Each structure stands twice: as structure tokens, then as C-alpha cells.
Structure 1
Amino acid sequence: MTQAPLDSPAVASAAADQAPTILIVGGVAGGASAAARARRVNEHARIVMFERDAEVSFANCGLPYYIGGEIQDRSQLLVATPALFRERFRIDARVRHEVESIDRVAKTVRVRNLETGEVYHESYDKLILSPGAAPIVPPIPGVNTQGVFTLRNIDDMDRIVEGSEDAREVVVVGAGYIGLEIAEQFAHKGPEVTIVELQDQVMPFFDREIAEPLHRELERNGVRLELGRGIATIEETNGVVSGVTLTDGTRLAADLVLMSVGVRPNIELAVAAGLAIGDSGGIATDDFMRTSDPDIYAVGDAAEYRFGPTGARQRVPLAGIANRTGRVAGEHAATGRSRPAPAAWSTSVVRVFGYAAGIAGLSRVAARQAGFDARAVHIVSYHHASYYPGAAPLGIKLVYENGTGRVLGAQVMGAAGVDKRLDVVATLIHFQGTIDDLASLDLAYAPPFGSAKDPLHMAAFVAQNDLDGLSPLVAPDADLSDFQVVDVREAAEREELPLCDAPHAKHIRLDDLRDRLGELDPSLPTLVSCRSGQRAYAGVRILAQHGFAEVYNLSGAAAMRDFARNRRSGMEAKTPVKLPRPEHLVNQP
């Protein structure tokens, strides 16, 4: 039996009394999720989705890995096709169709078929906007030259793959997620790769000591870093890119340039329709993702969400929150009710060769900018039991509020176990958990998977000691010139990893500290350091109980101070990034 078209009068009239016509502008994460959820909760709604690109739902986070060949089957990136939407969901997904305007009074949209040029109007009861964001292209000379690319969709990916077949020198502009991922993938393919970043570190929203190991891992794998400068011009030869000139005059040869300096929300349609725009430049929404027009919703990179750590509404251009809020908008549009949209916490992770780093919630810098009296602790431990083969060092920076102990965020770095710890912290901060809650969590343990005292437990213990006054912490990048500094490591350790910018440090082994107290002045503010913090904690407790009135522990000790204050450049790091071996079992908080 031949099925009537989805937009035929027969189908529309049968459902008219039972459900609305829902139009969705844009697919991918937010729009496609909204469409599927709307259908699941309302079988009778008429749902039409317009997507101006050739693919309506694709794995945009997987694009760099296809470019590098790590993903080899291109079809695996196509999450859902128009045919699947029609056959499984009875959703009319129209690709290469662009919505040009919205008439809120008539409740219609003007649509252009980009293949034929046909222009027509569609009526709606509910409209969901998911127009996404476009890569920012700085207005610099030569930016439109052949061989200069941005990466947003499947078409961009295909052009980059074709354009990089003979590439020998690649310049990646921008060192956020996409910039690092694409640099890694190009390095695997063989070209010489340079990253240019205007800030003085990669991943600018990480705290410095978390970004520094990424610098070293990139350089160890042959990626050149040009930090603290931007692109002044892009050069061409015979119409094709041949190099770039940086803002300090440095010239870099290049036969391919990838611009990855951020994204700009596609809000033009919303602005033209008179919808409210929020303070962060995204489409303003409420708890159900409705815009200032209650019949129009917005999701995805162009929309604002409630940002969990601060409660403010802002843009968070990540796929996870787009998917989750898409479901909310789709259900509310189709039924008039739904659970409120979840908050965004900016949980994210990046892999750079043999290393990973990620963040959940706020960095310490961001927490202080948001007005929190934020403190932080750094610990180094293992991703599973140290005695079980394959244990890899894991570094954690836990950020918490002074006084309340509320956990505000965490950054995690290492070769293994990074995502597991980030997910635990993301769950904790979602429920407004404290360092006491974190210390009390009953986490899974067996030697191949973790430790009886997980690294997160250790971080929470140290934070408790800090707030309880048992071992107050000093940040790893602090100026130590006013402290009486005591380094309690062995001589060989100090030679291998000097305590950066502390030439006045006095070296007294922890085991000798009680016998050499007379060499120290108990009236001076005293800071104790070791390799990763555990022995220093023991030293702090010894001194505090022998009459030293003001004693501190250097958070993360020599290891984190090295990352925080000792920027290595060039190709000095020839071995994988190594967090120091934790002083496991030597001292326990």
C-alpha cells in the first residue's frame, strides 16, 4: 500500500485535532534530538525538520578523527539520514533547505530549497530553533585563499581530507578542543604541524599548570607551538596558501591552514524575528528552552542555558547539553509539558597523543572571576592500585569554596582514568556536593580499576586538611620569596626536579626533620614541599606540633610548581609527559 506523504492534507487533517505542527530549524545534536523526542511523546504531531547542509544528523565531534584516518568508515559519522527519520519516526527531514525568516504573527516560516531555488512558506504551531554556530573567521588578509579551511560539517571535512592529501606543512590557528584534536590527527598523517594561539597557553580555559603538560606532550610529538601571538596575514602563491605571518613578524611556511579560533552563534534568524538575545550573545531561553516567544524554542550552540556553577544563563557550545536540552524542547513543544532543562556544567575532555586532560565545572581562575572565594588542591596519585601492572600517574586539581567546602570544579590530567574522575566530579557538583561528600563516596575498587583510596578521595582529604587548618595550602605558582622553604625530598629527587624559583629552599629529609628543627626559625612563615605533596603534609604536621606558628604545604609540591612556573618550549621534552611517582604509602592524609 502506498503511504501518503507526511505533509499531505489527509495526514495533517487526521492529526490536527490531536497534536501541533512542529517545525525544527537545524538538525545535528539539538534539532535532531528535539525531533525524535517530539515523535516519541506525540505520535500524531506533524514534524518537519529543515537543515541547510547535506546531512541532517552527523557526529560532528568525530570529524577530526576521520580527517586523521583514525575513523576510516565515513558512513559511521552519519547518525541518522532523512530516510531513517521518515521511515522510523515519520519525520519529514528536508536537507539543503534554509529557513530565511520567521513571521511570528502569522506563525509561518519562509523556506528556500537550496537545490532548486524554490521559496515557500510553512505554518507552525510550535517552532524549535537549532541553527548552531559558525566558525569564527578573523578578517585578516588572505583568509579566503585556497587551502585555508574551517571545520563545521561533513562537507568541510571532505574538503579538508581532499586538500590535505599532499600537505607537508600545516598551521592550526587556535588551541581549543578542535585545534588540538586536528593538530594531533594531522601529526599522525605526517605533515609538520604548528599550532598558533593568541593566548599564552593551549586550552585557555584550563588553569596554567593543567595546560603545561599538554604543551610538553604536543612538542614531544613534533607539534610546534607558537603561543601568545596571532596571525597577521596569510600568504599565497599562485592563488594557493603558502605561509602565514604572525603578529610578531615570524613567518611560517604552510600549504594548509585550519582556522579554529572559536564559534559565533547563528542568531540572525532569531534577531530578525525580534526574539530576545541574552547577555552571552545566545538566544535567551527559559527552563523549558522557550524563547521570549512562548511558541518558539531554541537549543544547541545558538541558545543560552543555565550554567550550573553560577546559575547565570550563558552559551555552552558542547554536544552533550545540546542533546539533553533538545529532548526537553521537543517534548514540551509536542505535549506542553516536560521536566525542566538541565544545567550545563561544561564537563569536557581532550586527548592529545598519549595524554588526556579535562574539566568539570569551574577552574580556579573562573571561580574567582565569578566571585567565589575559591581554593584549590593539587594531588598526584595513580589511576588504579600502584602495585597492579600498568598504573599510570594521575593529576587532579580540585576547586572548592572556602568555608562551605562546596566543590566548584576539577581539572584532571594523565594517561589513563581521566574521564572516570571527571564524571564523578560532574555528578557531585550537579548535586551541590562538598569536599566532605567527595571524601565519603563509596567508589568501585579492585586493583585493575582503582584504589581503596581513590585519587578523588585523596584530593578531598587534602582539601579537608586545608579547611580544617591541619595543612593550609599555598598555590603552586605562588611567590615563595617571603617563606622559609623546607624541601623534605631526597637529594637525588631534588637534582632530578629542582623546586622552581626557590633557590633559598633548605633541604632537610623528612626522616631527619625532627632531629634538625634547630636549623629552622619557628617565628617565620614556613612552607614545606616535597615531590607531590604527601611527605610535605607530614612535615607540616611535625612543624606545627613543634611550635611553628605559621606552616603551609605547597599544593602539588615540586611537580605542579614545575608545570605552573616553568614553561618549556621547543623540543626539549623527548619522553612522554611524566607526572612524578606519587609518594604512595609514605604518608596518608
Structure 2
Amino acid sequence: MIAKRIVVIGGTAAGPKAAARASRLDQNAEVILLQKAPELSMASCGYPYYVSGMFKDREKLLCTPSGVVRDPAFFAGAKGITAMVETEAVSIDRESKVVSWINAAGNNGLLAYDKLILCTGSVPKMPPIQGRDLKGVTTLHSMADADAMRTWAEHSSGKKAVVIGGGLIGMEACEALCHAGVDVTVVEALPQILGFLDTELALLVENHARAKGAKIITGVGLSALEGENGQIGAARLADGRVLPCDLVVMAIGVAPNTALAKAAGLEIGAFGGIAVNDFMATSDPSIYAAGDCVEITNRLTGKKMLAPYGDLANLEGRVAGENAVLGDSVRFPGTIGSGICKVFDFTAASTGLSERRAREAGFDVVTAINASPDKPGFMGAKPLVSKMVADRATGRILGFACVGPGDVNRQASEMAVAVAAGWTVDEMAMADLPYAPPYSQAIDHAIATAHILQNKMRGLMTGISSVEAKALFDAGGPLYVLDVRGQDEFKENQLGRGETLIPLGQLRGRVSELPQDKNATILSFCKVSMRGYEAQRILESAGYTDVRVMEGGLMAWPYTTEQ
């Protein structure tokens, strides 16, 4: 039997996974991996932590869990794969099934294939502006970028850096440089950082980053980069502000690297990624593709999207590698869009659709915000603030986001499974999750969030978000603001919106102090608004018809009194 030859182009995430899966399932196959960079299977999501100095050995970004460096010798010995590093695939002849390549030494050649897997990844976006070629303007996309930024950061305490883009990479780069003692300003053209979050949660993360020393500018774009003698000196913003700096990190996102696929005549999707089916097959049945270079299906909307995430790249690569050797038998179902990042002492995570994206997709949504500890206070509790989004008609959970210093990852992971499984709010409200005080509350935070949303959907609670509450304040209409915390809590901090303090335990006996008009709009809240909800029930039983609870209470309030 003649052995199959599987050629894989790209050696960061999807490529090595595809090659390893193909070799493992067909021990007779000849699997060849082409990688333009000198490194293989880099943990690129770890670059910011290497830059920050959290660990000093760059080899750790290239190691297996047992500490073995994933180099060509490793792939040959452990995986049975021929890995050709510093070797670029320059063209594909689909009719002859041949890949042309050239390496760093100037050698070139042809490589025939039976099946080809494209894992060409992505390229960082660079705006077409003046000064983008100045020295000191960089991205954090490659191992070379990480090495250069690490070297710069080690000797740049007190210098200034501007990060363009407040998404995942931008905020991680911000933290890394702040830890190195650099004065960092993040510039985000959109009204908020971390666009995968809705405003209520994004503002909380932004406030935390500011408290840690980062400067954040939102709603303003970059106009030009300026410098002298070829070296960056300042970033000029669209509103005329000039930010002196010694380094500019461009972090405005990535685009699929599809030049090779386009030149070969493969079908390209509406978002610029390689078009693939559920088997990760392209428009050529002999060619598969996986990773940042492809478009995949959003399982909630049914529409194609770009999803450049390392975990998805590995899953897609596994499917492509298996189907390349065994035939199209395994499907990749698409993504629900889960992500997580560390921002100083906060974690921010989301899964599924945000409220904004759900509305854009045509859903009639209902939401709830919950602020509560991740575990009992006697076990060292830390706060969490989360938001759940559901379809009003069916109750299906469409999305969930969570931020805070507590165990955000547990909450996001629980909810990612619930969203993917198509669970309703009612099902999540009765989820049977493991419980012990060192790990969670008796009613887990995510379940408590489902309870709040369940109460809203059943008409038992009228809750509004901090954004909606601020809109009420800004409108300046008649509004009675009721704080039902205790005296000591009130002395410690206030909302600062003309609120009246009536502790919950006294409310039943002091209802006469509230507006006599039973149709008056009353906004109740406490620290997390559990007592705010209790107050609403008491007041409604007393005949008040327009009582609203500020969801999440003071813990979820992201504004200052000046805002």
C-alpha cells in the first residue's frame, strides 16, 4: 500500500494539532509540516506574561507539559512528523497537487501532497496612517515581537508606551508593560474597552485598570504616529491630543492570512477567511483548512464569523487532521464565542452573545445582572459581577459574561456548557453543580444569576441595569432613590444620587415616609441588590406600582458621581 502524504502549512496552533492527529491515526502516512518561523507550536497567548516578566525562560512558551521543547527533533521522534522550520510555502498548484517552498537559506523545492491542510493563521491589522513604519511601533503577534518587547520592557521603567486598541491583546499588553514599570496609555476608538462585554461590565474593568495605574482613552481614534530620525516619539489622536511615547503597540485586531489560499483560487468567505464546511474542507476536496485563517459557523446565529482563538484553532486542526487521513467523518460544529482574559487583578470572560450582539442578531432579549461573592466570606470570598442574556420567547440562554477578582473562570466555563447545550434559564436555575465552601456558594453565582433572570421573566422583579439607572438620573425626572443598606454601610460609601436611607429591616414600619403617590417611580438598591429586591416586594405589597431594582447594586455601579 502506498503511504499517503499529508502536507500541513503553518506551525503555531492548528497546524501542529492537525499534523499530530493525522500521524497518530495513520501511522503509515508521511506527514510534513512547513513553518515560516523558526519556532514551532508556540503558546502565543502566553506572550504578554513573558513580556511582563512573570516567567523569564522563553523556552517555556515552546514546551510540552513535561518540559520538552517542541522542535523538529521532538516532532520527528515523538510524533513521526517531518517539521521544516524557517520554510515558507510560496504557492500551491492544485491541479498537480504540489506546494512550492523556499527556506531561510535560500533553498527551494516542490512538495507533492495527497491531502493539504492550510493553517496559515492571521496577520495583525495595521492602519494606513503616517508613521506606522517608525522604529518602536510594534505588534504582539509573533515570538519575535514578544522577544523584542521583553527586551525593551526590561530596560524601560519610567518610559511611556501607547497601546492602540483596548481588546484582549491590547489590555494584556497594557498589564504586561505596567508590570514592567512603563507608563501606559490605552487608546480605543470605540466607546469602551473589551468589546465582547456590554457597557456595564466593561466599565468595571476599565475602572480597575485605571486604579492599577493604566490610562484609558475611549471614543477617540489614532490619527498619526510621529517621530524623529526614524524613531517613534508621539501618537497623535483624532481629537488633536498628542501622547509622547517611546513605544507604540498596535493591537487593533487580526485579519485571516489567506494570501496563499487566494492565489490558489480557493473560495474565500464574506469576512475574508477561507471558506470551509463542517469537515474543515475547503472548496477543493483535497485541501482542508483550520485556525485563524478560516471562517466558522456561530452556533447561536447560524452565520459565519471569524474566531481567531487558540483553543478553537486546536479543535479545528484536530478535525482537519483526522478527516485528511480517514475521510470526512468528524465534524466541527462551530463556536458559541467564548473568551477570557486577565486584566491586573480582574478576570473578564464571556460566552455566547452579549446583549448588544443578540439584539443585532434579531433576538428579543431579556437580561439580568448579578453581583455576589464567589464563595462564602469565611473562605476568603472575592466579588463577581455577571450578566446573563436570554431569548424572551423561549427562555434559551444566549450569553453570559462575568468580571471581577473572584473565580470568573468557573462561572464562564459552567455557562459555556449551558449555552452550547441550549439550556433555558429555568434549566440553569436548577443546575446540579458541585458545592463545597472552599469553591463556591451553596447557590452558585451563575445559578443565582439565573434566579434573578427567572424572577424578571416571571414578573416577580422589575430590575434595571446601572446603565439604565444612570439614564434615569440623567433624564432628571421625578425619581425616589431608596438605599436599603445599614447605617454603617451607608457611612462607608454612597451612590451620590440624592438617595434616602431606610434600612431594609425598618422599611415595613417606615413606608409612610415614602412618596404618597403610589405611582411614583422608586429605585431601590443595596450593596448587591438582594435587599433591593426584598424592598421591591415589600413596597409592591404596600400598593406601589413602579418600583425598580438596580441590579448588582453598588458593587455593579461603574460610574463616579461626576459621570
- TM-score for both structures, normalised by structure 2: 0.92
- Pick closer, same or farther for the CA change 1:86–1:537 going to 2, 3 Å: same
Quote the residue 2:144 is aligned against.
155
Quote the residue 2:282 is aligned against.
291
Q: In structure 2, list runs of 5 or more residues that go unmatched.
A: 64-69
Whole-angstrom CA distance in 2 between matches of 1:126 and 1:94: 17
The correspondence for 2:267, drawn from 269, 273, 276, is: 276
The correspondence for 1:487, drawn from 479, 482, 486, is: 482
The correspondence for 1:396, drawn from 379, 383, 386, is: 386
| Deviation, structure 1 residue 290 | 0.7
Whether the aligned pair in 1 keeps the contact of 2:352 and 2:400 (CA below 8 Å) is yes
Q: Does 1:183 align with 2:174?
A: yes
| Deviation, structure 1 residue 317 | 0.6
Whole-angstrom CA distance in 1 between matches of 2:172 and 2:5: 40
Whether the aligned pair in 1 keeps the contact of 2:153 and 2:180 (CA below 8 Å) is no
Whole-angstrom CA distance in 1 between matches of 2:248 and 2:521: 52
Quote the residue 1:509 is aligned against.
503
Residue deviations 1:29-79 (CA, integer Å, cap 9, x gap): 111100000111111111111111111211101111111111211111114
Whole-angstrom CA distance in 2 between matches of 1:39 and 1:568: 61
Q: Does 1:536 align with 2:532?
A: yes
Whole-angstrom CA distance in 2 between matches of 1:321 and 1:70: 25
Quote the residue 1:582 is aligned against.
none
In the TM superposition, what are the counterparts of 1:361-372 in structure 2 within 5 Å?
361-372=352-363
| Deviation, structure 1 residue 344 | 1.4
In the TM superposition, what are the counterparts of 1:221-370 in structure 2 within 5 Å?
221-370=212-361
Residue deviations 1:505-554 (CA, integer Å, cap 9, x gap): 55543333333444332234544333321112112222333333444322
| Deviation, structure 1 residue 163 | 3.4
Whether the aligned pair in 1 keeps the contact of 2:482 and 2:522 (CA below 8 Å) is no
Whether the aligned pair in 2 keeps the contact of 1:487 and 1:509 (CA below 8 Å) is no
Quote the residue 2:366 is aligned against.
375
- Pick closer, same or farther for the CA change 1:203–1:568 going to 2, 3 Å: farther
Whole-angstrom CA distance in 2 between matches of 1:533 and 1:308: 34
Q: Which moved more, 1:194-203 or 1:160-169?
A: 160-169
Whole-angstrom CA distance in 1 between matches of 2:530 and 2:401: 19
Q: Percent identity?
A: 37
Whether the aligned pair in 2 keeps the contact of 1:147 and 1:163 (CA below 8 Å) is no
Whether the aligned pair in 2 keeps the contact of 1:174 and 1:195 (CA below 8 Å) is yes
| Deviation, structure 1 residue 498 | 4.0
| Deviation, structure 1 residue 334 | 0.8
Whether the aligned pair in 1 keeps the contact of 2:484 and 2:524 (CA below 8 Å) is no
Quote the residue 1:465 is aligned against.
455
Q: Does 1:444 align with 2:434?
A: yes
The correspondence for 1:434, drawn from 424, 431, 447, is: 424
Whole-angstrom CA distance in 1 between matches of 2:129 and 2:562: 30
| Deviation, structure 1 residue 109 | 1.6
Quote the residue 1:220 is aligned against.
211
Quote the residue 2:67 is aligned against.
none
Q: Which moved more, 1:279-288 or 1:229-238?
A: 229-238
| Deviation, structure 1 residue 245 | 1.7
| Deviation, structure 1 residue 568 | 7.8
Whether the aligned pair in 1 keeps the contact of 2:199 and 2:467 (CA below 8 Å) is no
Q: Which moved more, 1:150-159 or 1:30-39?
A: 150-159
Q: Does 1:523 align with 2:519?
A: yes
Quote the residue 2:102 is aligned against.
112
Quote the residue 2:399 is aligned against.
409
Quote the residue 1:121 is aligned against.
110
| Deviation, structure 1 residue 405 | 1.5
SS of the aligned residue for 1:58 comes to coil
The correspondence for 1:69, drawn from 53, 56, 72, is: 53
SS of the aligned residue for 2:45 comes to helix
Whether the aligned pair in 1 keeps the contact of 2:366 and 2:457 (CA below 8 Å) is no
Quote the residue 1:8 is aligned against.
none
Quote the residue 2:553 is aligned against.
557
Whole-angstrom CA distance in 2 between matches of 1:190 and 1:513: 50
Whether the aligned pair in 1 keeps the contact of 2:528 and 2:555 (CA below 8 Å) is yes
Aligned residues: 547
Whole-angstrom CA distance in 2 between matches of 1:362 and 1:142: 37
Quote the residue 2:120 is aligned against.
131
- Pick closer, same or farther for the CA change 1:199–1:497 going to 2, 3 Å: farther
Whether the aligned pair in 1 keeps the contact of 2:205 and 2:403 (CA below 8 Å) is no
Residue deviations 1:80-115 (CA, integer Å, cap 9, x gap): 2111111112211111111112222222222122x2
Residue deviations 1:215-274 (CA, integer Å, cap 9, x gap): 222222221122222222222222222222222221222111111111111111111222
- TM-score for both structures, normalised by structure 1: 0.88
SS of the aligned residue for 2:410 comes to helix
Corresponding letter in the other structure for 1:91: I
Whole-angstrom CA distance in 2 between matches of 1:296 and 1:367: 34
| Deviation, structure 1 residue 416 | 2.2
Whether the aligned pair in 1 keeps the contact of 2:154 and 2:180 (CA below 8 Å) is no
- Pick closer, same or farther for the CA change 1:568–1:272 going to 2, 3 Å: farther
Quote the residue 1:421 is aligned against.
411
Whether the aligned pair in 2 keeps the contact of 1:164 and 1:256 (CA below 8 Å) is no
The correspondence for 2:41, drawn from 57, 60, 68, is: 57
Whole-angstrom CA distance in 2 between matches of 1:448 and 1:301: 38
Whether the aligned pair in 2 keeps the contact of 1:278 and 1:314 (CA below 8 Å) is no
SS of the aligned residue for 1:235 comes to strand
Corresponding letter in the other structure for 1:284: A
Quote the residue 2:72 is aligned against.
82
Quote the residue 2:66 is aligned against.
none
The correspondence for 2:27, drawn from 15, 32, 43, is: 43
Residue deviations 1:444-489 (CA, integer Å, cap 9, x gap): 2111111111111211111110111111322321232567444142
Whether the aligned pair in 1 keeps the contact of 2:495 and 2:561 (CA below 8 Å) is no
| Deviation, structure 1 residue 352 | 1.5
| Deviation, structure 1 residue 138 | 1.2
Whether the aligned pair in 1 keeps the contact of 2:397 and 2:422 (CA below 8 Å) is yes
| Deviation, structure 1 residue 400 | 1.2
Whole-angstrom CA distance in 2 between matches of 1:317 and 1:425: 21
Corresponding letter in the other structure for 1:210: L
| Deviation, structure 1 residue 494 | 5.0
Q: Which moved more, 1:307-316 or 1:161-170?
A: 161-170
Corresponding letter in the other structure for 1:510: L
Corresponding letter in the other structure for 2:506: D
Whether the aligned pair in 1 keeps the contact of 2:529 and 2:551 (CA below 8 Å) is yes
Whether the aligned pair in 1 keeps the contact of 2:401 and 2:412 (CA below 8 Å) is yes
Q: Does 1:171 align with 2:162?
A: yes
